[in-house]
Structures are given as structure tokens and as C-alpha cells.
Amino acid sequence: MSKDSAIVAHTISVLVANEPGILARVVGLFSGRGYNIESLTVAETNAKESQSRITIVTKGTPMIIEQIKAQLDRLVPVYRVRDLTVEGPHIERELALVKVKGVGEKRVEALRLADVFRAKVIDAKSDSFVFEVTGNTDKVQTFIGLMESLGLVDVVRTGIVAMSRGGEAL
């Protein structure tokens, strides 16, 4: 595959005015123009200025990624759009709650693996655990994969939040 047609995942950070409909604008832009959303997180990050940060993981060719950024930047309530994937090193984290049901050897193994992955037990019954695991997508994915044979019954994930390394703000 040539460089121009290679599909690559990008993590894009968007600073927006926290006003009604802003999420619908962003999501509608993706669905209306046929772009992919792999993951999306949003929450207010500056109450005084009423600003929210949206972190979007999306996939596309370089031309599509460039379009996505330009289209996002064109939205009136958008302050800034940054492509963390191309703008130097950054850190990504997500959090998952993983519910595992089982007794005996499987239960012990689940707990042992949770310890390896530094997952916390945040709920326990005699036949179940809820683990809280934090990390990059790979780690969370691996942990969930391991739980599958050990009685995995439920998963929720936050999606990715990301930030550039170093002292600069967005």
C-alpha cells in the first residue's frame, strides 16, 4: 500500500466551547461525511471559560485525516484542533471496568492477573469481581482478553483520553 492510501489511526484533541449541541455537531460531522470514530471522550475541562476537551481516535488516509481536522476546525464553537499523533510524543490512557464471575481456581487466577495488570478490585462478591484497569488501549485490551476464559460477563470502557508530553498546553 502506498503512503497516500495507508489507513492510520490518529488521536485528535479538540478544545471546544461547552455549549448545547457541540457534541452533536462533532458527531454529526463524522457521520455526515463518512468518517470513522474509533473512540470519543468528552468532558468539561475548564469551568471558568466553559470549555470542554474532546479526544477522538479516528482512522483514515492522510488526506482524510487532514480533512477531518480542517472540518472540525471550521465548526464555530471549536477553539483548537491538535493531531497528537503527528505533533510529537503524547500519552494515551483509558479506563475500563471489567466484571468477572467465577469460583475456585478461575477466581484466584483472575485476581492474580489483575495484580499483574495493576487492576484494582472495586467490587467483590463471593462469586464475582469488578476490576478497574487503567492504561493504554493495548493493555486494557489484553487484560479484557485474558478475562474472557475466566468468566468475563461485562465490560465498560471510557475510550481514550490523551495529552502531549512536556510542559506545553493544547
Q: Is residue 7 a contact residue for another protein (CB under 8 A)?
A: no
> Helix/strand/coil (H, E, C) string of the chain?
CCCCCCCEEEEEEEEEECCCCHHHHHHHHHHHCCCCCCEEEEEEEECCCCEEEEEEEEEECHHHHHHHHHHHHHCCCEEEEEECCCCCCEEEEEEEEEEEECCCHHHHHHHHHHHHCCCEEEEEECCEEEEEEEECHHHHHHHHHHHHCCCEEEEEECCCEEEECCCCCC
> Nearest Cα to 114, choosing from 129, 94, 136?
129
Q: Site for another protein (CB under 8 A): which residue of 30, 37, 41, 77?
A: 77
| Residue range at the interface with another protein (CB under 8 A); choices 67-75, 128-136, 148-156, 161-169 | 67-75
Q: Site for another protein (CB under 8 A): which residue of 1, 20, 89, 105?
A: 20
CB of 14 to another protein, least distance (A): 11
Q: Site for another protein (CB under 8 A): which residue of 16, 40, 133, 146?
A: 16
Q: Which is nearer to another protein, 24 or 116 (CB)?
A: 24
Q: Which is nearer to another protein, 6 or 91 (CB)?
A: 6
Site for another protein in 79-108 (CB under 8 A): 79
CB of 136 to another protein, least distance (A): 30
Q: Is residue 61 a contact residue for another protein (CB under 8 A)?
A: no
Q: Note the residues at the interface with another protein (CB under 8 A).
A: 16-17, 20-21, 24-25, 28, 32, 63, 66-67, 70-71, 73-79
